[in-house]
Amino acid sequence: MFNTSLKLEKRPSDSQTMSYLSPLLAIILTLICGGILFALLGHDPLEALYTFFISPLTDAYGWAELGIKVAPLLLCATGLMMCFKAKIWNIGAEGQFIMGGLGGSWAALQFLDATSSWVLIPIMLTGMASGLVWAAITAYLKTHFKANEILTTIMLNYIAVNALLWAVHGPLKDPQGFNFPESALFVDATLLPLISDDYRLNISIFFGLFALVAVWTLMSRTWVGYQIQVLGEDAKAARYAGFKENQLTWFALLTCGALAGLAGVSEVTGPIGQLIPSISPGYGYAAIIVVFLGRMNPIGLVFASMLLALTYMGGEMVQMEMALPKSLTGLFQGMLLFFLLACDLLISYRVVLVKKVLDKKVSPSATIDAAS
Amino acid sequence: MDIDLITNILYATVRTGTPLILVALGEMVCEKSGVLNLGQEGMLLMGAVVGFMAAVTTGSLFVAVLLAIVAGILMSLLFGFLSITLVSNQVATGLALTIFGAGLSAFLGSSYVGVGITGIEPMSIPFLSEIPIIGKIFFQQDPLVYLSFILFGVVFWIFKSSRIGLQIRAVGENPEAANAMGINVHKVRYMAVIFGGAMTGLAGGYLSLAYTPLWAEGMSAGRGWIALALVVFASWKAERIMLGAYLFGAASIMHLVMQGLGFEVAPNLLAMLPYVATIAVLVLLSSNHMKTKLSAPMSLGTPYRPQV
């Protein structure tokens, strides 16, 4: 009888292959767990997974809807990528998104009699500026008071949610809206142009792609981008090299704030068309998963945004077709992130099979070789 | 403002502070052992939803509270397995736990939204509850509030004068040295993480069974995160956690105070107060950055890899 156990062993160097395989592995594990879950709920797992992940994309309308959801995810994820590269744990894309939508809505409501689409420029800029200001609070608190950005950004997310609720119940409420907590409907001139009249998809998808290319070029081809990368890899080395840590922090956070703000304003002037109490189904949080899943790589980010966008559509689909709760979306997103973290372990460790030496106690839990 | 109103406000303050106390005490023990679990919010939501579901299906509030604790423990084991056994990044794992907990709780509770239960009722303690003012504030509460007093005593005692407390501290300050002394670092950390999970699960149960007997998606409203800030604010001391939690509790019920004083402020603006207060606390702490650094457990956030 072989008496063997699994053991985690540190690799001599991180495995590049594993870092690309890990997201795929995580997706497969999520699908398996999702299938088991559907089976437990009394549905045919394959059919349910088909309904969740495939059926939303069987026609052009579905792909256009996917694009509507990819745009905000891509914008937020692009900004977050820059922060995470610098090891700035900005969890605040959600709040920056909401403030962008709130500021942008205020601007759009100033142009209720506009006829020319040029007014979109000040509206978009107001949205970006609102997100930027929201991120600036975190940057200020971090650089001046060394306040932990995870906590400040999360608190600012909750504050932003309340600010939005206050606005739709108060100053921005439609005076002719029968007291519903909603703003007036935006006029056509203040809505983002559609790509095709047959679908709801608007030009915000180009904002996302443009931002991605711009930020990626900045990160990989410019001096600022290089400094941000060094800061994230080794803060001490960055300081030693004389890089201005505070300035870089400001730069990364403000960029993210502006992009998330743009996503927010694009949402209210796009598919929603007015300000309502809930303008984000958690895009800012899902974008965190996009960044990790997409390996902070531009192409990876596009695919990861599509997958996360699909989880929103899948949630709606299983609700309509199978009367399952829409909140399956969040569950799938959470599972995905968890499996990804577990699989990422295989980047720096490998699993080896070791024969147990009798008489000698070997801990069954993962023991890690310290050779490296 | 008359005395009755003040008493009522303080009574509500104790109620609001209780979940924060439970989460923060649990997280404090966890952090003392060197593990930073940012997943409090996710565990809190899971405790709340499981407790509520159990209350609806079994009809027993006692079973409901127990299952809320179990839910917290299971979530913390998930965290522990990834961050202790598989030495993953604690910050990322904690965030993942929060996102996962939010998603899973929303899914589990989707058919329980809008269902009503009779929550845990207040239970006056004989004699003590008859003390003027103090009696009303502290001793006419529900049993889970009294449990929070007891658990405070337990945690206080653990770190004041128990062997386990010393072991936890040793592991948190210097795991290598603790290991050399013959302490099983992983075991101590697992116990601390599980304790934290149980406390947060209990806090979740308190929210959905006593504080507001209902289930709503995301009902913890950031309390898990506020508790994390509270631990730092209290510089890892149980007695300061009590004080801080009640201060935050007071900030969360400002709308009552404002109404009492006759002010008209939009409720959504007042709802921002606890979050603004948390940021203010983080700023205050920075004026004494060195002190925070000194009181934090040395190995906080660093995974321990045993040498084989």
- Nearest residue on chain B to A170, alpha-carbon basis: B266
The percent of residues above 90 in pLDDT, for chain A, comes to 57
CB contact under 8 A, A367 and B106: no
A155–B289 CB contact, under 8 Å: no
Residue B223 pLDDT level (bands cut at 50, 70, 90): very high
pLDDT in tens, B109-148: 888 888 888 888 888 888 887 788 888 888 888 888 999 9
Residue pLDDT, tens place only, A235-282:
888 888 888 889 999 999 999 999 999 999 999 999 999 999 999 999
With a cut of 60, say whether residue A302 has pLDDT above it. Answer: yes
Higher pLDDT, B18 or A18: B18
Give residue A372's pLDDT.
Answer: 38
pLDDT band at B95 (very low <50, low <70, confident <90, very high): confident
pLDDT score of B49: 95
Q: Is the model's pLDDT at B157 over the cut of 90?
A: yes
Residue of chain A whose Cα is closest to the Cα of B101: A334
pTM (2 decimals)?
A: 0.89
Q: B286 vs A146: CB contact, 8 Å cut-off?
A: yes
User: Which tens digits make up the pLDDT trace of A30-85?
Assistant: 999 999 999 998 889 998 999 999 989 989 999 999 999 999 999 999 999 999 99
> Looking at the predicted structure, is the pLDDT value of residue A360 above 70?
no
Give the model's pLDDT for residue A70: 96
Beta-carbon separation of B272 and A158 below 8 A: yes
What's the confidence (pLDDT) of residue A215?
A: 94
Q: What is the pLDDT of residues A198-240, one digit of tens each?
A: 888 999 999 999 999 999 999 999 999 999 999 988 888 888 8
Here the ipTM equals 0.88
**In this complex, which of B99, B225, B269 lies closest to A337 when CB atoms are compared?**
B99
Q: What percent of chain A has pLDDT over 70?
A: 94
Average pLDDT, integer, range B54-77:
93
pLDDT band at A369, cuts 50/70/90?
very low
HEC profile for chain B? Answer: CCHHHHHHHHHHHHHHHHHHHHHHHHHHHHHHCCCCCCCHHHHHHHHHHHHHHHHHHHCCHHHHHHHHHHHHHHHHHHHHHHHHHCCCCHHHHHHHHHHHHHHHHHHHHHHCCCCCCCCCCCCCCCCHHHCCCHHHHHHCCCHHHHHHHHHHHHHHHHHHHCHHHHHHHHHHHCHHHHHHCCCCHHHHHHHHHHHHHHHHHHHHHHHHHHHCCCCCCCCCCCHHHHHHHHHHHCCCCHHHHHHHHHHHHHHHCHHHHHHHHCCCCCHHHHCCHHHHHHHHHHHHHHCCHHHHHHHCCCCCCCCCCCCC
* Interface contact A91-B95, CB threshold 8 A: yes
Domain ranges of chain A: 44-323
Does the pLDDT at position A323 exceed 90?
no
Question: A365–B186: do the CB atoms touch at under 8 Å?
Answer: yes
Q: Tell which B residues from 151 to 210 touch A, by Cβ distance under 8 Å.
A: 186
Q: Which of B1-10, B52-61, B187-196, B236-245 comes out lowest in average pLDDT?
A: B1-10
**Residue A356 banded pLDDT, cuts 50, 70, 90:** low
Q: Which of B78, B104, B279 sits opposite A141 (nearest CB)?
A: B279
Return the percentage of chain B with pLDDT > 70, whole number: 99
Residues of B in contact with A159 (CB under 8 A): 272, 275-276
Mean pLDDT of chain B: 88
Q: pLDDT by residue (tens digit) across A1-40?
A: 456 677 777 788 888 888 888 899 999 999 999 999 999 9
Query: Residue A370: pLDDT above 50?
Result: no
pLDDT at A364: 47
Q: Which of B83, B93, B268 to mutate to test the interface with A (most CBs of A within 10 A)?
A: B268
Contact B104 A331 (CB under 8 A): yes
A-B C-beta contacts closer than 8 Å: 141
Specify the CATH architecture of the domain A44-323.
Orthogonal Bundle (1.10)
The mean pLDDT of B5-26, rounded to a whole number, is 90
CA-based nearest distance B172→chain A, Å = 20
Closest CB to A338 among B100, B107, B225: B100
Hey, is the C-beta of B278 within 8 angstroms of any chain A C-beta?
A: yes
